[in-house]
Amino acid sequence: MMGWEFHQAKTAFPKFSEDWDRLNKQLYAGHPLYDSRFVGPMLEFFASGREQLCIHRSDGLVTGALILQADGMGRWSSFKPSQSQATALLLDDARVLKTLLDALPGFAWSLELYAIDPRYSPDFSRNGLVNLVFPHTNTIGVNPHTSFTEYWNKRSRNLRANVRRYLNRVETEFSKPVLSKSIGSAEMSAGVGRFGELESAGWKGKAGTAISIDNEQGAFYSEVLRLFALSDQAAVYELRIGDQLAASRLAIVNDRMFVILKTTYDETLARFAPGRILLQRIIQEQLDLQTAKTIEFYTNTTRDQKEWATFGCTILNIQIFRNNSFGTAFSLLKILRQTLRSSRSLTNPADMTLGEPVEVKTFLHVKDFSHGQYNLDEFVAKDNIETSIDWFDLMQQQVYPDDPGVRYYFSSDDKHPLIILPLRLSTQGKVKAIESLGNYYTSLYSPLLSKDSDLLAIRHLLTTATLDHGGAHVMRFAPMDPESLAFMGILNGLRAIGWIPFEFFCFGNWYLKVRDDWEGYLRRRSSNLRSSIKRRGKEFAAEGGTLEIVTSPEGIEPAIAAFHEVYMASWKVPEPYADFVPSLIHRLASIGMLRLGIAHLRGRPVAAQIWIVGQEKASIYKVAYHKAFASFSPGTVLTSHLMQHVIDRDHVKEVDFLIGDDEYKPFWMTDRRERWGIVAYNPRTLLGSTLLVKEISGRIAKKLMEITKQYALKLQQSRTKPAVPGTDVRTKNIRFHTAQREQAMNWTLHPIKQFAEYANQWDALAQSRPGTPFLETAFLQPSVVTFGAGNELLCLLHSKDRLRAAVIMQRGKKGIWQTFQPSQLPLGAWISDGKVDLVAACNELMDQLPGCTLGIGASQLDPRIQVRPDNGPKVRTQDYIQTAWVDVDGSFEAYWEARGKNLKQNTRKQRNKLLAEGIEIRMECVTGPEDVKKAIEDYGSLESTGWKAADGTAILSDNAQGHFYQIMLENFCALGRGRIYRYWFGEKIVAMDLCIHDHAAIVILKTAYDESYKTTSPSTLMRHDQFQQLFAEHKFPRIEFYGKVMEWHTRWTTQSRTIFHVTLYRWAWLKRLHAWLAASTKESTQEIPPSDQGNATRMTTNSSSAN
């Protein structure tokens, strides 16, 4: 169970302080400012009593915490008194904030989080919500792992000279300044008192903001320092000049961080700069101690303070909106309010609060960077030429050579650009547009970001571009990676300068995650593709066909001519910019990124492909084949040749098919992602506002049209029901909200006999969520054939031709449909890409299933791959079993040393006993498909001598179970992913394991042992040797049991998780009725989710190894 609970923070915090500190340690290594010893006193002294402690639980465990206060009218904000330099968000995943907005009392539409340190907070770039980000402060710090001498010698000459002059002045007029440090808990109050006296004598005393031992501030800091000092984690540093206290600093620490809380100095001694001298002494102390503590200033840094720093960081204010509509409305109202208050130009985005000024420079050509002696080393082509300065230089030279609107806006640190934003300013009629520099040659656009870039600076570049174009009306950026930081940076930048952005879909992008060599890659492909590659390759070679790959400038001109000849003879339209592709080929060859493949047949080129290879990635940029030679499949032959080259010789980790969802791409690739764009409008201009209204109207009209289509489809279905359930294919448009984008999705229903036709799509989706090989068709197809009734439905959820979720459904009793769940299948036959909402998807599927569907039961779901939904009026979740796993991490010796004394002693005792009796022990691992039949016979022999034979549940070579396991394991062994372990005592098999695996986990499906050897624990000995081998291989990150945790599991691991069921009812009253009936009859058979008896059987699947 997951959900939020709310408590009055001031009174409830002590109760949750232990959980609070556990989360702080787990997420942020015990950040001192997030410590309960800091937050607790802050609530005690500065809370109003209205603050809410928000606690998130998962399965009863506190997994998230933060403190909020209601600001009225549906707005909430984080609790942040001025004494808090950074706000604690103890969350592992920012996406849970969406559920927080839903759960907060009343209707919450906005959440403002102040003083967020991005280094110690969840990742907000992928939280699936609309964010508005502004800078709060710019803090600095000093990294450890260096000597003070090295650190000091790297400071500016001016800083070193000034500090030396101040020290000489002190020593001339007095003597050497004296540093003292108080660390005892009893000393803290007096130290804070002296600090307060010093601060009260200066400007803060006159302003009434100084610390005093008699005011709340003084009491707060005294208590914080006292609590930290109890564990030697607090200090009051003081510098004395003569007999006079000249400067003081308060600090708290942990194992990794030294935080300066407050600093003050005697203003009458300002000519000696005692604050600077004290700071130098503290830094020297910390670096000389080599404590590996990062020194954190957590202050709004001045120019002078920056000289002390080795790094900087922008502390953020983040406003989160419930959805895009609220974000848009908020931005428009903010602009309207500023307009009414100001008489300045409505076209000036600089009116917005953008934080610290950033100097923005503009060049018209890439060569201007060289003329200005700027260092562009960080922006040269590496993995992707399109995100390099080379690409934009080529784009401008070949596509926009005479375009006066090309601009390169950038910020820099001296002669090192930090961000370069290549744009094109254009005017179409009266509309002034700013667009990303690119065209249809561009498969991925991104600003160029250095390692030190601050994405908040993008707003300044956009502001300059707007002013440069006379108050532009519209901006477009496409195509982009919607998961990238650059995408979020541009979105936030546009919102920050008062523009209203929208996202739009560009195209699908298929790609391959390379996990194997060429032979391993082939094994993962469909049998049809493997056969086609082999057959077509032989035919092509028999006809005298040859293949070549050009990678360097040598011989480049004939290769370009061959590419041009093939392109002109293909189905493709001639290039509008004839010199672009040849220039690209030349540039790629010059930097070693070219893989130009040419297939020749009968003395002429018949296929050509341009692949771009970076450090770890290969991109398939251009492909073409001669139409007259299509019967020889030269494209397939050349693609396989180049694929083998980049996998085995270039050793890339990813192959990218770039633009489009062409139907052949899924056969070669494993995964699909999407490229999206951003369009934004300037509401400060009349034309921009008009275009904005048009955009909003179009989106509303599109949504209304989809709703109308849904209604019409429902109406048609209600009038004409199919005669035979499961034989029709029906679709319905539904909407899901994922990563801030609305994506149209469609369910299609197919009879299960068509499963093989969709096997490639199913496996591509299943393999995108690794660790569950039994959810691939190699397992499911023989399972359906052997244990299915034949009337199951294959249900597929697509979006933009991409499979997002898939499930095999079977009709249950009384209008209930449930996931296909034979006892041999560890989890229900449901897969998704991890971004589809289970409840929403099943609710829509309920309307598509034939007959009167009262509910859907999704059985045996794994929280590792499927988020467990909250219980709701129509949703019920149930714990099924606890399942265990072992992380294959480190050495086997370390793993075995951590096991219990009894297990180690028993294993050693039994092994010694067998050796003493002269019995040879050995383990054999069967992996060949030709050996599976005999292995299943052996396994059946073991089970048939034990209790399972008496129960009639044993595997036999001639029963349905034996038939299934034989076919299934032959499938996996043919893929190189099946293992059958046999354990021998001399010449007798005494224990066996049936296992399958993918690259993420090996799953132990079944275990059997000879019960006549029970006293010698054969399965325990086998498990020891098996685990020792798996740890030595380090091929699989996890070993999964996928059975109910028994006592013997706990000897091998302490890790477990809850497998669960989900039931969705058509009506809320039906859920209440079902619960009442179940309670009144106390019959577990009334439960909807489990398949009739499969679950009880499944619970015993692995139990035979308990000996």
Q: What is the pLDDT of residue 221?
A: 96
At 120 the pLDDT is: 94
Same domain, 392 and 364: yes
Which residue, of 510, 544, 564, is where some domain finishes?
510
| Contacts (Cβ under 8 Å, ≥6 apart) of 409 | 360, 361, 362, 420, 421, 423, 461, 464, 465
Q: How confident is the model at residue 1089 (pLDDT cuts 50, 70, 90)?
A: very low
Q: Which of 494, 354, 333 is nearest to 341 (CA)?
A: 333
> Which residues are CB-contacts of 535 (< 8 A; sequence separation ≥ 6)?
none
The per-residue pLDDT for range 563-617, each reduced to its tens digit, is 999 999 887 778 889 899 999 999 999 999 999 999 999 889 999 999 999 989 9
501 and 547 housed in the same domain: no
**Domain, as residue range, for 399:** 323-510
Claim to verify: residue 129 and residue 153 sit in the same structural domain:
no
Average pLDDT over residues 870-897: 92
Maximal CA-CA distance, the chain: 104
Q: How confident is the model at residue 301 (pLDDT cuts 50, 70, 90)?
A: confident
| pLDDT tens string 230-248 | 999 999 999 999 999 999 9
Q: Counting runs of H as helices and runs of E as strands, what totals does the chain give?
A: 34, 40
Instruction: Output 31 or 302, whichever has higher pLDDT.
Output: 31
CB 969 within 8 Å of CB 994: yes
Report helix angle 777-787 to 960-974, nearest 10. Answer: 160
Please determine, for residue 175, whether its predicted confidence score (pLDDT) is greater than 80. yes
Confidence of residue 769 (pLDDT cuts 50, 70, 90): confident
**Residues of the chain above pLDDT 90, percent:** 66
Q: Is 486 found in the same domain as 340?
A: yes
Residue 254 belongs to domain with CATH number? 3.40.630.30
Answer yes or no: is 7 within a domain: yes
Q: Quick one: pLDDT band at residue 977, thresholds 50, 70, 90? A: very high
Contact in structure between 127 and 323 (CB atoms under 8 Å): no
Summarised one tens digit per residue, pLDDT across range 116-127 is 999 999 988 666
Q: What is the pLDDT of residue 756?
A: 87
Element spanning 96, H or E? helix 96-103
Per-residue pLDDT for 1084 more than 90? no
pLDDT tens, position by position, 88-113: 999 988 888 988 998 999 899 999 99
What are 360-387's pLDDT values in tens digits? 999 999 999 989 899 999 999 887 899 9
Q: Which of 880, 908, 930 is the last residue of a domain?
A: 880
pLDDT single digits (tens) 382-405: 878 999 999 999 999 999 999 999
Residue 798 pLDDT class (50, 70, 90 cuts): confident
Considering the domain architecture, whether residues 165 and 260 belong to the same structural domain is answered as yes
Strand ranges, E, within 367-521: 406-413, 416-428, 431-436, 448-449, 474-480, 500-513
- Of the candidates 805, 1005, 1020, which has an alpha carbon nearest to the alpha carbon of residue 896? 1020
* pLDDT number for residue 1099: 32
Which pLDDT score, from 0 to 100, does residue 274 have?
96
Q: Using pLDDT thresholds of 50, 70 and 90, give the confidence band for residue 758.
A: confident
Note whether residue 464 is domain-resident: yes
Would 1048 be classed as within a structural domain? Answer: no
- Give the per-residue pLDDT at 572: 78
Please check whether residue 697 lies inside any domain of the structure.
no
Mean pLDDT (the chain) is 88
CB–CB of 835/740 below 8 Å?
Answer: no
Average pLDDT over residues 176-195: 95
- More confident call, 355 vs 146: 146
pLDDT in tens, 708-728: 877 776 676 665 544 444 333
Q: Are residues 832 and 864 in the same domain?
A: yes
790 shares a domain with 754: yes
Same domain, yes or no, for 772 and 876? yes
Q: Look at the chain and report how many structural domains it folds into.
A: 6
Q: Is 1095 a residue whose pLDDT tops 90? A: no
Mean pLDDT of 416-421: 95
| Res. 1082: pLDDT tops 70 | no
- Would 667 be classed as within a structural domain? no
What are the angstrom distances between the C-alpha of 947 and each of 950, 1022, 1043, 1048, 1103? Answer: 5, 20, 18, 18, 12
d(CA 166, CA 156): 16
Question: Which CATH number belongs to the domain containing residue 52 in this structure?
Answer: 3.40.630
Any domain includes 1053: no
pLDDT at 737 over 50: no
Q: Beta-carbon neighbour count of residue 210 at 10 Å?
A: 21
Q: Are residues 505 and 520 in the same domain?
A: no
Quick: pLDDT tens for 239-287. 999 999 999 999 999 999 999 999 999 999 999 999 999 999 999 999 9
Quick check: 1085 pLDDT over 60?
no
Q: Which of 880, 910, 936 is the last residue of a domain?
A: 880
Are residues 563 and 491 part of one domain? no
**Is the residue at 308 inside a domain?**
no
pLDDT range class, residue 731, cuts 50, 70, 90: very low
What pLDDT was estimated at residue 355?
A: 57
Q: CA-CA distance, 38 to 45, in Å (whole number)?
A: 11
Judged against a pLDDT cut of 60, whether residue 738 lies above it is answered with no
- pLDDT of 704 above 90: no
| 105 in the same domain as 40 | yes
| Long-range own/partner contacts, residues 711-715 (CB < 8 A, 24 or more apart) | 714/847
Both 434 and 524 in a single domain? no
Q: Which of 247, 263, 345, 340 is nearest to 297 (CA)?
A: 263
Mean pLDDT of 549-557: 93
Q: Is the pLDDT of residue 885 over 90?
A: yes
Q: Give the per-residue pLDDT at 142.
A: 95
**Local confidence band at 687 (pLDDT 50, 70, 90 cut-offs):** very high
Task: Report the pLDDT value the prediction gives residue 303, as an integer from 0 to 100.
Answer: 81
pLDDT at 292 over 80: yes
* Lowest-confidence pick of 340-349, 478-487, 623-632, 860-869: 340-349
Residue 762 forms part of a structural domain: yes
Q: Is the overall model pTM greater than 0.75, yes or no?
A: no
CB-hemisphere CA count at 13 Å for 963?
Answer: 10
